[in-house]
Amino acid sequence: MKSQNQTSILEFLLLGFSQNPRHQPVLFGLFLFMFVVAVLGNLLIILAVSIDSHLHTPMYFFLFNLSFSDICFISTTIPKMVVNIQTQSKSITYAECITQMYFFMVFGGMDTFLLTLMAYDRFVAICYPLHYPVIMNSQLTGLLILVSWFISFSYSLMHSLLMLQLSFCTNHIIKHFYCEYARALTIACSDTQINHILLYIETCVLGFVPFSGILYTYSKIVSSILRIPSTDGKYKAFSTCGSHLSVVSLFYGTGLGVYLSSDATSSSWKDMVASVMYTVVTPMLNPFIYSLRNKDIKKALKILGTILFLR
């Protein structure tokens, strides 16, 4: 580029996983399959929660929002990726890149908030069962969701506005399969100190703080469960948390691993695979994790299947 002021017409290049043409059909089929499975699976969860009045509770209200967020989360990256593979192009316009970053951070942040809210819901249900209807009332759950959306949209907007202030010179190659914020900062030719400071703050606020909250709530949950005298009671209490713990482990284990890694701004294969785990695999597996271990969801899915079949 001849001028740094021409960022509005920049096209970034997303290198993706492989430059080998023989690998492209495999990557196209694999990611398209995971995308379709993720969208359909989460859509079924949304419909099941919507049609079954027995699932109109705080826990399933959070699950409803998680499924919606996961559909949007995976839709920010994979469609562009499979289109680029199909058209044998690696380009993404400057506007598309900023937009992708914005919505990726919005829905990624929502996932962290929702997983934390679901942990709090299980904490109240197990540790304070008699007070659960009073504490987890519809006004509070609705307010918690609105605040979470507001924070996610706000901090993502701040990141995007700061990104718009940066200039990009001749190097516009992003060594990833999507416009990853940290990697985009490495190719900017203007000062990115404020961007990095905000990124570190966001990692702490949306990474460590929610994860610490989840760990705290589960320490209290385990302590309460161990005081239950009957083995059946303990098993039932633990089973209500199993699905959530599985999703938390997968999402935070891979997500935090990417941002805490010393190679987070490099082009290592390991970091790319870890990114796929929390941006693609986790949204795809969430519906299976919650439906296979949950009798209420299974029942609602059967009702939904009956309705669709009769139509």
Residue pLDDT, tens place only, 116-168: 999 999 999 888 888 999 999 999 999 999 999 999 999 999 999 999 888 88
Write the DSSP assignment of 58-81 as a string of letters: HHHHHHHHHHHHHHHHHHTTHHHH
Nearest to 158 by CA among 98, 217, 110: 98
Token pair of 228 as six digits:
């239950």
Residue 188: DSSP 8-state: B
d(CA 144, CA 142): 5
Distance, first Cα to last Cα, the chain: 57
The angle that helices 282-292 and 295-310 make with each other, rounded to 10 degrees, is: 100
Q: What is the pLDDT along the chain (311 residues), one digit of tens a residue?
A: 444 444 445 788 888 787 777 888 888 999 999 999 999 999 999 998 888 888 888 989 999 999 999 999 999 999 999 998 888 888 898 889 999 999 999 999 999 999 999 999 999 988 888 899 999 999 999 999 999 999 999 999 999 999 988 888 777 888 888 998 888 888 888 888 898 888 888 877 777 888 888 999 989 888 888 887 877 777 777 777 777 888 888 888 776 666 655 454 444 566 777 788 888 888 998 888 887 667 777 777 777 777 766 65
All structural domains of the chain, each given as residue ranges with its CATH number in brackets, are 7-310 (1.20.1070.10)
Classified as helix, coil or strand, 304 is helix
Select from 140, 67, 146, 148 the least CA-distant residue to 106: 148
Kindly tell me the burial class for residue 263, based on how many C-beta atoms sit within 10 Å of its own C-beta (0-12, 13-18, 19 or more).
Answer: exposed
